[in-house]
Amino acid sequence: MRKYRQLTTELTFRCNAKCPACHRQKPLTIDLNDKKYTITLENFKKLFYPELLKNVEWLMLNGNFGDSIMNKQFREIISYVKSHDTKLKIHTNGGIHGVDYWKDVGSILTKQDIINFDMDGLADTHSKYRINTEFENVFRNACTVIDNSNTQVHWKYIVFEHNKHQVEEARELAKKNNFHTFSTVKTSRDVFAPKTGKFVHSKKTSAYDQAEKVIRCVWDDWGKWYISPEGLVFRCCWTGGHYYDQGEKRFYYPPKFERMFNGLHVPLEKILSYEYWTKLQNYLKGYDRSFKLCKSQCGKLISSIEKEEDNLKTGQKTYFDAHAENRQR
């Protein structure tokens, strides 16, 4: 069987947070809370069958729309994955559940696994973007995993105008509490307006406006695919999220897509061997004829927000564990 470097999936489209720039805030064609968009343990085992899992180096649980911890069978699902020695990368806002729950999570994960907690600021700033989550709860939950596991716990920090002054304080807090890494993330998301208490659209130049004349599919480079909770297989998370958008379609989805590209109907190994993927990559080599979605995500140079010079160490990762960097590679 073919070896896969990484498959990415999300266990549910449900989320406890209401981040203003999240894809779930866009007009969509579906009800994100419909139970069909939360995978059961039974269907997860059908989708990621043992022979496949044994040949997947990394399984990433990350969401276009949801947070995996909103799936009531989250702990059972990650236990199943670990029973086949597949490494896990988990991204979560960490804003729900109590100490006992996170102790269980920590006991399931191993030193080869990674769990990222999203904390965009400190107690007075975090919830401005991560609406419906509280910094104290997320920080407590992350520290609970640290104290009850040898897994790699990462702090991911999106830098906005309203929290950039706290980056170094947060970095020191991460080091003091034994996080494996602290990483800052550059963003072109909307900015927080203190006078109104709301996020407003940034006037930064879009990445699409500065697209270079080459499409480089980073997901193809990384050997990755995205699988939705209902089992649909996409080249990347962007094409997966866009599939459910209302309005203009900026990507091509093949005929009979919902049947032929559904891992609950057709084995994932067969879907991932379709000639479609090769044809897609060849098509993307012609920039002028390519899809708008691919141009905006993988045809860009560096957006203006990334070109701006400031004193922040944004877009950088600090390793506090000497072995953590090597384990990720």
- Residue 257, C-beta contacts closer than 8 angstroms, at least 6 positions apart: 232
**3 state SS of 324:** helix
82/108 Cα distance (integer angstroms):
8
How would DSSP label each residue in 88-131? Answer: EEEEE---SS-HHHHHHHHHH--TT-EEEEE--SSTTTHHHHST
60/226 Cα distance (integer angstroms):
9
pLDDT value of position 235: 93
Output the tens digit of pLDDT for each of the chain's 329 residues: 889 999 999 999 999 999 998 989 889 999 999 999 999 999 999 999 999 999 999 999 998 999 999 999 999 999 999 999 999 999 999 999 999 999 999 999 999 999 999 999 999 999 999 999 999 999 999 999 999 999 999 999 999 999 999 999 999 999 999 999 999 988 765 555 555 656 555 544 444 444 456 777 888 877 889 999 999 999 999 999 999 998 777 888 888 999 999 999 999 999 999 999 999 888 887 777 778 888 888 875 433 333 333 334 446 788 886 455 554 43
73/76 Cα distance (integer angstroms):
5
**Cα angle vertex 85, ends 84, 91, to 5°?**
105
236/316 Cα distance (integer angstroms):
24
pLDDT value of position 189: 57
pLDDT value of position 207: 46
Specify whether the CB–CB gap between 157 and 185 falls below 8 A.
yes
Go through the domains of the chain in sequence order and give each one's CATH number: 4-328 (3.20.20.70)
Strand-pairing partners, residue 318, are 182
Helices (H) and strands (E) in the chain, counts: 15, 11
pLDDT value of position 106: 98
Handedness of CA 82, 85, 86, 87 (dihedral sign): positive
Specify whether the CB–CB gap between 5 and 220 falls below 8 A.
no
pLDDT value of position 288: 74
Specify whether the CB–CB gap between 236 and 18 falls below 8 A.
no
Q: Structure pTM?
A: 0.87
Residue 117: CA atoms inside 13 Å, Cβ hemisphere, count?
32
